[in-house]
């Protein structure tokens, strides 16, 4: 028998807790929210890792595969400085943001965490560039690194509708990313660079970010994944967005996604051995394309199942 209108229906979230949903709320159209509201929803009792000060007082020079070297000095637990030590043409082509210059110096507040021994996630917003964040994976065990530079689209870019973007050959999301890889200068014997991976494809994984926020991810192919909010401020919302996956070590991954409805960049490390993730979400705080929101996220992860499609390449 179907439940009567207004009846509460109990379901279980990814932590096994019961979630009460009314038939009326389950039938309502979910509403996308701005990143600032998402940050507020994630904040209480979030499962982020505590920042570490292991890098404080150290200077690391990161040599990229295309020749440029950027030197980072971690002045303390929360402040870093950098300088570009040599000019080089970016093999990925010019950045969309014309303020991206070589031989630049800068200083920013940063957050550093260690999801697995010797592998650090460092994240900051570049105050000298428009709507730009930088995330570093410093793999001190292997002497290699990866950086993710993300640039949010300007308002004019966001206002281009999906049909026009397709007709013009533009990506559906205006969020831009640039990936760089290289060796840490002075490392005794740098290991292989972090490389793209297909190991997440087919996995359906639940992530509990806090007692109230729970999502599932379904990794579809090399370029796209599906996300679905099971509980929290985005409950009922789901979409398929552009993504990028890199293998850092056995069962340890860097996962990056770029959302198209509300311009959003997500950068996380996922440790499936530890069943934990940690990273950040970056976007405009409100719909006026002004203030930025760059907030930490972390989750308990559970792989629910894995599907191997016979036609998957």
3-state secondary structure 44-98: CCCCCCCCCCCCCCCEEEEEECCCCEEEEEECCCCEEEEEECCCCCCCCCCCCCC
Per-residue model confidence (pLDDT) at position 85:
72
Every domain of the chain and the residues it spans: 31-49+195-306, 59-184
Looking at residue 102, what is its pLDDT?
A: 57
The pLDDT of residue 247: 99
For residue 159, give Cα distances in angstroms to 133, 171, 229, 300.
22, 14, 25, 35
**176 closest CA partner among 57, 253, 295, 258:** 258
Phi, psi of 62 (to 5 degrees): -110, 110
Do 31-49+195-306 and 59-184 share a fold? yes
Identify the pLDDT of residue 189. Answer: 83
CB atoms inside a 10 Å sphere around CB 172: 14
Q: pLDDT in tens for each of the 313 residues of the chain?
A: 444 444 443 444 444 444 444 444 556 788 899 999 999 999 999 999 999 999 999 999 999 988 889 999 999 899 999 998 764 454 444 444 444 445 788 999 999 999 999 999 999 999 999 999 999 999 999 999 999 999 999 999 999 999 999 999 999 999 999 999 999 999 888 899 999 999 999 999 999 999 999 999 999 999 999 999 999 999 999 999 999 999 999 999 999 999 999 999 999 999 999 999 999 999 999 999 999 999 999 999 999 999 998 887 6
| CATH code at 59-184 | 2.40.128.20
Can you give the pTM of this predicted structure? 0.87
pLDDT at 313: 65
Break the chain down into helix, strand, coil percent, rounded to 5: 5, 45, 45
Sequence length of the chain is 313
Task: Quickly tell me which residue has 């998957």 as its tokens.
Answer: 312
31-49+195-306: CATH, from 2.30.33.40, 1.10.3730.10, 2.40.128.20, 3.40.50.720 = 2.40.128.20
């Amino acid at each position: 028998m179907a439940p009567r209108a207004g009846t509460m229906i109990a379901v279980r979230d990814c932590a096994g807790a019961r979630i009460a949903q009314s038939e009326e709320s389950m039938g309502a159209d979910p509403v996308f929210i701005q990143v600032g509201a998402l940050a507020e929803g994630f904040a209480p009792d979030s499962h982020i890792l505590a920042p570490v000060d292991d890098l404080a007082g150290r200077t690391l020079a990161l040599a990229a595969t295309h020749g440029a070297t950027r030197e980072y000095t971690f002045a303390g637990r929360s402040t870093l400085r950098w300088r570009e030590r040599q000019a080089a043409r970016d093999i990925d082509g010019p950045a969309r943001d014309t303020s991206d210059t070589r031989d630049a110096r800068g200083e920013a507040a940063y957050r550093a965490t260690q999801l697995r021994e010797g592998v650090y996630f460092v994240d900051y917003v570049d105050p000298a560039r428009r709507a730009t964040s930088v995330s570093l994976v410093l793999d001190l065990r292997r002497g290699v690194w990866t950086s993710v530079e993300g640039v949010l689209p300007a308002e004019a870019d966001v206002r281009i509708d999906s049909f026009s973007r397709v007709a013009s050959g533009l990506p559906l999301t205006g969020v831009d990313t640039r990936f760089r890889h290289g060796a840490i200068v002075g490392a005794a014997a740098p290991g292989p660079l972090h490389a793209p991976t297909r190991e997440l494809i087919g996995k359906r994984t639940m992530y509990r970010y806090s007692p109230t926020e729970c999502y599932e991810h379904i990794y579809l192919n090399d370029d796209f994944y599906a996300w679905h909010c099971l509980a929290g401020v985005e409950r009922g919302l789901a979409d398929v967005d552009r993504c990028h996956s890199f293998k850092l070590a056995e069962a340890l991954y860097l996962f990056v996604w770029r959302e198209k409805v509300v311009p959003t960049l997500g950068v996380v490390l996922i440790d499936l051995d530890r069943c934990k993730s940690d990273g950040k979400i970056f976007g405009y705080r409100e719909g006026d394309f002004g203030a930025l929101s760059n907030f930490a996220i972390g989750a308990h992860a559970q792989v629910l199942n894995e599907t191997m499609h016979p036609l998957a390449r």
